[in-house]
Amino acid sequence: MQEQNDVSNLRRVIEEEYKQFKEGIAAAKDVALPGNYDSITISGMGGSALPGNILRIFLHRIWRLSGKEGIEVYQNRFYSLPPEAHKNSLNIFCSHSGNTEETLASLDEAIQNHLPSIGMSSGGKLEQICKERGIPFVKLPIPFENFQPRMATGHFIAAFHTVLANSGVIESDEENLLRCGESLEAIIPSLEKKGSEIAQRLHGKTPVIYSNTYLKSLAMIWKIKINENAKTPAFWNYFPELNHNEMVGFSFPQGKFIVVMLRDSEDNPKNLKRYEITARLLEEKGVETMILDISGETMYNRIFSTLVLGDWASYLLALQYGIDPTPVDMVEKLKKMLTEE
């Protein structure tokens, strides 16, 4: 049932996120750029950049468990490419709209320097440039009207995986990706229920999201979803680094915070000790805390179930605030002002 304030029906998007793996694989099935690369450089901004963070987790785990030497994965969130992008790197340019100015500027640099490149978008200038220049291109699906880039992580990850497998950079793990989609479909209702409980506790407070070093991108993405869906400030950090600095800032908290800790049972045992102890220290300073245990049989399941849980929590928090979770008016206003000056 569509909520009154949910004008673009973001609920339906979250309920059907599990379909994105199959859709992303299909979109990239014929795209490849084989080569013996030293690294991968992913250029993108905002919601189009988030999947790059998740890809790094998967690739580093694959290479660590296989015992094989992997290649570096770099991320570019600027108008120009980092030096590593010029050193036998496979450059992937991601802009869901196809019109992100920073990403297009980086693509132009790659073209001028004849760097191996692949484009990913739902259309726009990026698609046009790739077609004109003969650059391999993945056209991402738009399953719903007003579909937002931040909700396309499954599409991007499946497309990344397929392109890299097609190019000989990694071995295909398509079967496990599709199984992850099936598993997500089964637990969507339970994740919504848990997300509702979290949203109730977040209401009226400034969330601070923590995770471990290895999965720190999950904390960052939760923070971003709260910003964009619930239109409220949120912050993130990771263990053990936060214990050496940020924690001290709560000695005299200047606002009403709630710290949400995403705890992974596969973490280093020494790091796991920090969650309960940190929670106890923060609560002594009057800061509310929550510890959420990450669950799932595979790394795909663990990561995506946590991401969908964050989607539900931020979406339901938006409804509690009586706002439409989909539009990001300040971002659109900024883009307009940039073109006018």
CB 157 within 8 A of CB 54: yes
| Helical axes 174-202 vs 20-28, angle rounded to 10° | 140
Evaluate the omega torsion of the peptide bond into residue 240 and state whether it is cis, within 30 degrees of 0: yes
β-bridge partners, 137: 119
Four-point Cα dihedral 251, 254, 255, 260, nearest 10: -30
From the CA atom positions of the chain, what is the Rg in Å? 20
CB 184 within 8 A of CB 153: no
Q: State whether the Cα torsion 273-279-280-281 is positive or negative.
A: positive
Active site residue 60: no
**SS (HEC) of 288-336:** EEEEEECCCCCHHHHHHHHHHHHHHHHHHHHHHCCCCCCCCHHHHHHHH
- Reading the block at residue 187, the tokens are 């637990």
Strand, helix or coil for residue 15: helix
Residue ranges of the alpha helices (H) in 232-298? 269-284
> What's the CA angle centered on 237, arms 282 and 283, to 5 degrees?
10
Query: Which letter does DSSP use for residue 4 in this model?
Result: T
17, 102, 127, 228: which one is catalytic?
Answer: 228
Active site residue 155: no
- Reading the block at residue 39, the tokens are 């690294």
68, 256, 285, 335: which one is catalytic?
Answer: 335
Active site residue 72: no
69, 145, 244, 270: which one is catalytic?
Answer: 244
- The catalytic residues are 228, 244, 335
